[in-house]
Amino acid sequence: TQLLEQSPQFLSIQEGENLTVYCNSSSVFSSLQWYRQEPGEGPVLLVTVVTGGEVKKLKRLTFQFGDARKDSSLHITAAQPGDTGLYLCAGDDGGATNKLIFGTGTLLAVQP
């Protein structure tokens, strides 16, 4: 069974600080997606990474896919209160389908 562990589970920081969220597995994924979920809403896709070592940037968010395609990280520079939410990574199940395995989630609170 493929598992995705995220760390930390909870993170409370001040506006302007930097942070990194990790998504780790013992399994190889052909792609990883990152979603953000705000209270009372469903997850919204932020990015998909498909190549080992790939780095993608979305404004102040930087996503990296590990060389061995077993892990990924999300780095936020100068966090803002609008970044508050639950961050979820999700990997494909290896069957070339769109069936996803979701990580356990990181709950981020950015205090003004």
Partner 1 sequence: NAGVTQTPKFQVLKTGQSMTLQCAQDMNHNSMYWYRQDPGMGLRLIYYSASEGTTDKGEVPNGYNVSRLNKREFSLRLESAAPSQTSVYFCASSEDWTANQPQHFGDGTRLSIL
Strands 61-65 and 55-58: antiparallel
Q: Does 11 bind partner 1 (CB under 8 A)?
A: no
Q: Does 14 bind partner 1 (CB under 8 A)?
A: no
Per-residue binder mask for partner 1 (CB under 8 A), 81-100, x = binder: -------x-x-x---xxxxx
In the chain, the amino acid numbered 38 is E
Give the N- to C-terminal CA distance of the chain in Å, as an integer. Answer: 40
Of 43 and 66, CB closest to partner 1: 43
Please, which residues bridge with residue 11 across strands? 108
Among 25, 33, 64, 84, binds partner 1 (CB under 8 A): 33
Of 85 and 103, CB closest to partner 1: 103
Residues 6+ apart with CB under 8 A from 25: 2, 3, 4, 5, 70, 71, 91
Are 72 and 65 in contact by the 8 Å Cβ rule? The answer is yes
Residue 84: DSSP 8-state: -
Of 99 and 112, CB closest to partner 1: 99
Window of 12-20, 36-44, 52-60, 63-71 that interacts with partner 1 by CB under 8 A: 36-44
Residue 16 C-beta: closest distance to partner 1, Å? 29
